[in-house]
Amino acid sequence: MAVTHTFAVARDHSFQQIDKLINSHSLHSSESLCKLLRYLAEHSLDHPGVALKEYQIATEVLGRPAGFDPQSDSTVRVQAGRLRVKLSEYYATEGPDDPILVELPKGSYALTFHLRPGKTVAQLTSPLALEPRGATDEAPASKRFWLFTVVVLSLLLAATLLTTLILFAGRSRSLTAAAEPVPVAYQIFWNRFVTAPQQPWVIFSNASFVGHPQKNMHYFNAATDPRGVILDHYTGVGEVLAVHQLDLVFSLLNRQLRVKRGALFSLDDAKNNDLIFIGSPAENLTLLEIPGTQQFVFRKAPVPRDGDVELVNVHPEPGEQTTFIASPSSQPITEDYAVIGLERGIVPVRSMLILAGTTTMGTQAAAEYVCREDSLAELLRRLNVSKAGDLTPFEALLRVKVSRGVPVKTELLAIRKLGN
């Protein structure tokens, strides 16, 4: 529904409702959704009839790079779906009596503003109140007056109850309709992480550095560097964006994540939780303390690439390379390699997912690969998995094309099943 003529002279009321939504309990805790809601409101009211593009929303609101491809990245669609659910949640709980309804119709990025049925424009500026007219201190003149009053109030009460039931039923249908369907690929791949009683933990890398960021900072070397000057509060951009992608997917799955940096990780965490590791053992040093990948293994590259990280194909099949390494660190990265590894946990009932590249760009690409419906469906096809219970531990090798620091194309090179 488009903005009606009633609001052509009441534009401020629409923005007041947006402010009320942003400050509500349903939305105030999500900065990205509040930012998206205000952006869509401003565009819908200032430019009615002008369609918004996913690319425009991604780059101007969600901070995606100029190379954003809406065909391969569903960030905007996922965020829009979350916003629809939050709007329905608000009107079903906090704002059942708000006169203005704000909606985001499916298949559109244009907000609609319209009056709730039974409300009038006058009610936007003054609260609805029933004031007794002609009230006096004198007693009723007759019992007939009291009888009339009782009958009227009874009718009003009955009408109020009926209206409440109708509105509640309508809100329930709206909330159900607004919920975004969860892609089957997500349900299959992430099943073990969303059905466990505990929230899964995301362990992101924060490698140990020494030196000064503006002069000469490098990875800590236990043989040559003093421990007293370790800096452990730096994390690659790929790891940050990976956590963001996972959060979007798990929000769609109605499941929360717990995020912890690698330096604070303990073996008890590994025993008691399902884990998702972000980053390779070169930066996520926690992976050096527990069993990691078995078929595609990270190691320091030999001379002349000393200092870089490479992936070793432990059991290469015919026609496969034995080692994979990104573009030299002395040059802009144009190619990287990454691993997706679903491994057994230290405790058999636990699961461990490793998303790691030889550089931060590869790590980002690995996370995006399992957070996009199309690439996740390809992975499941290659694994010959069609049901959640059929997914067993595996490792997959990815080649990543990088442009201006952004993964733009990811190719599945090889896959290994590890058995039950």
Q: Judge if the upstream peptide bond of residue 213 is cis by omega within 30 degrees of 0.
A: no
Question: Is pLDDT of 331 > 60?
Answer: yes
Q: Which stretch, 110-119, 262-271, 403-412, has highest mean pLDDT?
A: 403-412
Q: Give the whole-angstrom CA distance, residue 150 versus residue 117.
A: 27
> d(Cα 338, Cα 410) in Å, to the nearest integer?
9
Range with the poorest average pLDDT among 33-47, 208-222, 285-299, 353-367: 208-222
The better pLDDT of the pair 364, 178 is held by 364
Question: Given a cut of 70, is residue 231 above it in pLDDT?
Answer: no
In angstroms, the first-to-last Cα distance of the chain is 52
Could you give the CA distance from residue 351 to residue 274 in angstroms, rounded to a whole number? Answer: 5
Q: What is the pLDDT of residue 340?
A: 96
Higher pLDDT, 29 or 316: 316
Q: Measured between alpha carbons, how far is 356 from 366 in angstroms, rounded to an integer?
A: 6
pLDDT tens digits for range 287-324: 666 677 889 999 888 888 877 889 999 999 999 999 99
**Range with the lowest mean pLDDT among 69-78, 186-195, 224-233, 381-390?**
224-233
- The pLDDT score that the predictor gives to residue 135 is 36
Mean pLDDT of 161-180: 49
The pLDDT score that the predictor gives to residue 243 is 92
- Sequence-separated (6 or more) residues with CB below 8 Å from residue 143: none
Q: Are 291 and 343 in contact (CB under 8 A)?
A: yes
The pLDDT, as a whole number, for residue 401 is 95
The crossing angle, in degrees rounded to 10, of helices 31-46 and 11-22 is 170
Domain boundary assignment for the chain: 5-121+147-178, 184-417
Residues 184-212 have a mean pLDDT of 85
Tokens 């959060």 — which residue? 247
Q: How far apart are CA 37 and CA 18, in angstroms?
A: 8
pTM: 0.57
Q: Mean of the per-residue pLDDT values for the chain?
A: 79
At 26, the pLDDT band (50, 70, 90 cuts) reads confident
Mean pLDDT across the stretch 49-64?
Answer: 87
pLDDT of residue 13: 84
Helix or strand holding residue 96 (H, E):
none
